[in-house]
Amino acid sequence: MKTVYFELDAMTTNLPMKLSHLPNSLPLDGAVRIELMEGVPIFRASSLVQRRIEALLTKQKESTLTSEENKELDEYEDLDDYLSLVNRTVRNVSLNQNES
């Protein structure tokens, strides 16, 4: 397996948002996949994680989630927000490098 490292300048490494913890059901391995879009790595939830989120959303529409399930869904939403932030940051750094 190839390890990919990203160097971000000091300004972009100070992310404005911190995750307090991850969902208990989040697998430690294989939770995030990396795709290349126009040469830029994009971080996405794995199929396994996406299925769990979809199951929670379906249950939420059809009935009521338990407090634990609500907490889990909230944590997945926080994680999604964080991945979106990382993706925007990486994309912006890539665009700035291309302009140089």
Give the pLDDT confidence of 48-69 residue by residue, as tens digits: 999 999 999 999 999 999 999 9
State the pTM of this model: 0.73
Average pLDDT, the chain: 83
Partners of residue 43 on adjacent β-strands: 34
Tell me whether residue 3 is in a domain.
Answer: no
Kindly tell me if the per-residue pLDDT of 31 is higher than 60: yes
The strand pair at 32-37 and 40-45 is best described as antiparallel
**Domain span at 58:** 10-99
Count structural domains, the chain. 1
Tell me whether residue 82 is in a domain.
Answer: yes
Interval 78-85 mean pLDDT: 91
Residues 6+ apart with CB under 8 A from 93: 6, 8, 9, 12
Tell me whether residue 52 is in a domain.
Answer: yes
Tell me whether residue 4 is in a domain.
Answer: no
